[in-house]
């Protein structure tokens, strides 16, 4: 396995071991299967509406809880912390328990840090799989959700208040590691789940959302997490 690809896999594992739930039963009181219906002309307007609503909030902070379900070992690992979704910068997962650590996903890089050790920066080159996963969030939060169709088969359903999005990799690159991704929410993203090709599952719950009008609301410390 190439060094870069191994780094991507380790990065995914790191995020899974120390980060929160979605398609189980957390913030959104509905376990609707998002993979029942493909995105089509009938539900496309609602899909665009959801993406536009998320893009209207360029800076979101909150808390997360995570479960990493290890099927083969019969174990569940849990963690919690804080997240930042900054449309013009990327994502930050700052874990506070059980062990403090931080992961920042930028436009073309990943920064991992643990207290007491130098931060590790992984460039996009050689980490294509990991960066494509981060690209999902960037597209959803920039109002470009339809562009996901270039790399995924899109499934979507919604009612007046809730929406459920499912993504299945359309190529073998990301599909070698990720079987499918699901997202769900109301006015905000509330849950994210990643089913890994090996059978393990990562579930995230996002709550306590606080919104800012623009990326200028990032503190100096938060910008430093993005390597700025």
Structural domain that includes position 199: 3-225
**pTM score, two decimals?**
0.80
Separation of alpha carbons 225 and 42, rounded Å:
41
Q: What is the CATH number of the domain that holds 18?
A: 2.50.20.10
Over residues 184-213, the mean pLDDT reads 90
pLDDT band at 218 (very low <50, low <70, confident <90, very high): confident
- The CB density around residue 112, as the number of other CB atoms within 10 Å, is 19
The candidate with the shortest Cα–Cα distance to 17, out of 61, 70, 62, 82, is: 70
Separation of alpha carbons 93 and 82, rounded Å:
6
Residue 27 has pLDDT above 50, yes or no: no
- The CB density around residue 18, as the number of other CB atoms within 10 Å, is 24
Average pLDDT, the chain: 81
Do the beta carbons of residue 19 and residue 93 sit within 8 Å? yes
43-46: long-range contacts (C-beta < 8 A, 24 or more apart)? 43/156, 43/157, 43/158, 46/156, 46/158, 46/163
Residue 180 has pLDDT above 80, yes or no: yes
Over residues 50-69, the mean pLDDT reads 92
Separation of alpha carbons 126 and 217, rounded Å:
32
Residue 73 has pLDDT above 60, yes or no: yes
Counting the structural domains of the chain, the total is: 1
Separation of alpha carbons 150 and 119, rounded Å:
33
């Amino acid at each position: 396995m190439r060094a870069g690809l191994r780094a991507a896999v380790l990065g995914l594992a790191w995020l899974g071991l120390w980060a929160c739930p979605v398609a189980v039963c957390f913030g959104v009181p509905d376990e609707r299967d998002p993979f029942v219906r493909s995105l089509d002309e009938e539900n496309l307007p609602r899909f665009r509406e959801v993406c536009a609503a998320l893009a209207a909030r360029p800076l979101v902070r909150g808390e997360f809880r995570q479960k990493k379900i290890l099927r083969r070992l019969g174990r569940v690992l849990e963690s919690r912390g804080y997240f930042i979704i900054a449309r013009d910068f990327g994502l930050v997962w700052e874990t506070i328990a059980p062990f403090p650590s931080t992961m920042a996903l930028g436009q073309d890089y990943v920064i991992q840090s643990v207290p007491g050790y130098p931060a590790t920066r992984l460039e996009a080159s050689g980490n294509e799989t990991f960066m494509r996963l981060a690209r999902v969030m960037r597209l959803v939060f920039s109002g470009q959700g339809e562009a996901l169709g270039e790399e995924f088969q899109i499934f979507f359903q919604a009612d007046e208040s809730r929406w459920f999005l499912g993504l299945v990799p359309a190529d073998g690159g990301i599909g070698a590691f990720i079987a499918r991704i699901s997202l769900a929410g109301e006015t905000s993203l509330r849950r994210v789940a990643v089913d890994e090709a090996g059978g393990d599952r990562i579930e995230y719950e996002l709550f306590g959302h606080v919104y800012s009008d623009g990326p200028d609301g990032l503190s100096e410390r938060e910008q430093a997490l993005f390597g700025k």
